[in-house]
Amino acid sequence: MSRQAPTLEDVAREAGVSRATVSRVVNGVRNVDPDIQDLVRHAIERTGYTPNRAARSLVTRRAETVALIVSGAKDAFAARVFADPFFGRVVSGVVGYLRARSMHPVLLFAESEAGRKQVVDYMRQGSADGALVVSILADDPLPEMLLSAKVPTVLFARPGRTAPISYVDVDHRAGGGLAGARLLARGCRHIAAISAPPELPAGQDRLAGFRDALARADRCPPPVVEGAFTLDSGAAAMTTLLREHPEVDGVFAANDLMAQGACQVLREQGRRVPEDVAVVGFDDSSIAMTCRPPLTTVRQPVEDMASTMAKLLHEQVEGARTEPRTVIFEPELVVRESA
């Protein structure tokens, strides 16, 4: 990066044509004589020319870059977010779509008010053409900030507050239904649930779908104990369930972490999983596989969702679509050993 890089001008001189012509062949614009194209191409090769990104962006007003924003994670928490395979799957899906279009994701954090401002600024500088937002918390103010800064934006998961923003999501309700149906199919007679914190709409949907499934089978409404999406809260909820409903033989936990906590308590109390009590989780996180026993769980097609998210953004940037769109994906039951 030290010696002066060759510019369009250099190539033009070398090929004996004008800058404009070289620019045309570089960008594959038609209306260029094939012979001259060759001429230019050779000159490019000889000079080792590569277009300068900044100069191009300055005039095209395109960064060929999208921001992948993890929003809502507190500082200390940030490391965990990245270490979670879920994040990796999102990255993988996004990259899968972008790379074919020679676009690249820039990683951004927004874990505080200041962080959100910085992110918005970053976007307003034109550093990226649009934003892909993964919010950790419900009620994240970032999407609306982006919206009012007129930054093309697509979210992973439905926003807490309704707003005209595109997003992708999974059909949580259907997922809960899958879990309920599985427990029913196993012949469980006394089914219960460990639910999500009430402020998470997705969690409520999972529970609703689960209840639907039982209702469709003419079962009475199941006992539900609220959890907090953590291992400990799952364990605590299971303890409560066991005390108040010792006859329980099937449990749906609204995420894998709580399912794992439940399994631990079950084992400690001498109940076998799945023989005595069947357990179904949600998310198919890495825990699901390493848990003992491996968890039967509901899987979100995260990679597909992420790549669709990138696609929606791309279309929005290209101006092909302007009205917000939402795409909902079907979850899938992954049967392992716990149910």
User: Which residue ranges make up the site for its own copies (CB under 8 A)?
Assistant: 1-3, 5, 50-55, 57-58, 63, 65, 68, 78-79, 81-85, 87-89, 91-92, 95, 99, 102, 104-109, 118, 121-122, 124-127, 150-152, 286-287, 290-292, 303
- Measuring CA to CA, which residue among 307, 297, 289 is closest to residue 331? 297
What the block records as the tokens of 277 is 């009590």
* Residue 294 structure tokens: 């491996």
In this complex, which beta carbon is closest to DNA, that of residue 17 or of residue 253?
17
Out of 45, 46, 55, 198, the residue judged to bind DNA by CB under 7 A: 55
Proportion of the chain in helix, strand, coil states, percent, rounded to 5: 50, 15, 35
Two structure tokens written together for 70: 């993890």
Q: Which is nearer to its own copies, 74 or 189 (CB)?
A: 74
Cα–Cα distance list, 116 to 145, 154, 162, 273 (Å): 8, 16, 19, 44
Q: Are 303 and 87 in contact (CB under 8 A)?
A: no
- The answer to the question of residue 133 lying near DNA (CB under 7 A) is no
Q: Binding of DNA at residue 9 (CB under 7 A)?
A: yes
Piece of the chain touching DNA by CB under 7 A; list 16-24, 90-98, 208-216, 257-265: 16-24
**CB of 5 or CB of 185, closer to its own copies:** 5
What's the closest the beta carbon of residue 316 comes to its own copies, in angstroms?
A: 10
Beta bridge partners of 194: 225, 253
Nearer to its own copies, 289 or 335 (CB): 289
Range in contact with DNA (rule: CB under 7 A) among 25-33, 102-110, 295-303, 325-333: 25-33
Max CA separation in the chain (angstroms): 87
Whether a cis peptide bond, with omega within 30° of 0, leads into 274 is: yes
Binding site partner of 32, from DNA, its own copies, none, Cβ cut-off 5-8 A by kind: DNA
Q: In the set 58, 107, 215, 289, which binds DNA (CB under 7 A)?
A: 58
Q: Give whichever of 29 and 79 is closer to its own copies, judged by the CB atom.
A: 79
| Rounded Cα–Cα distance for residues 295 and 334 (Å) | 8
Task: Give the whole-angstrom CA distance, residue 262 versus residue 29.
Answer: 62
Q: Residues 38, 42, 46, 60: which binds DNA (CB under 7 A)?
A: 60
Q: Are 279 and 259 in contact (CB under 8 A)?
A: yes
Residue with tokens 């929606």: 312
User: With b meaning 16 or more CB within 10 Å and e meaning fewer, what string describes 264-284?
Assistant: bbbeeeebebbeebbbbbbbb
Q: Beta 191-195 vs 224-226: how paired, if at all?
A: parallel
Among its own copies, DNA, none, what does residue 27 contact (CB within 5–8 Å per kind)?
Answer: DNA
Residue 229 structure tokens: 């999406």
Question: Does position 20 bind DNA by CB under 7 A?
Answer: yes
> Angle at Cα 313 formed by Cα 83 and Cα 92, nearest 5°?
30
Q: Residue from 1, 2, 28, 30 that binds DNA (CB under 7 A)?
A: 30
Residue 50 or residue 286: which is nearer to DNA going by CB? 50
The residue within the footprint of DNA, chosen from 21, 233, 264, 297 (CB under 7 A), is 21
Q: Is 40 helix (H, G, I), strand (E, B) or coil?
A: helix
The amino acid that residue 232 corresponds to is D
Tell me the window of 4-12, 116-124, 137-145, 222-230 that interacts with DNA (CB under 7 A).
Answer: 4-12
> Does position 317 bind DNA by CB under 7 A?
no
Query: Taking CB within 5 to 8 Å according to partner kind, which of its own copies, DNA, none is near residue 21?
Result: DNA
- The least distance separating DNA from the CB of residue 102, rounded to whole angstroms, comes to 13
Contact residues for DNA, defined by CB under 7 A:
4-5, 7-9, 16-21, 23-24, 26-27, 30-33, 35-36, 49-52, 55-56, 58-60
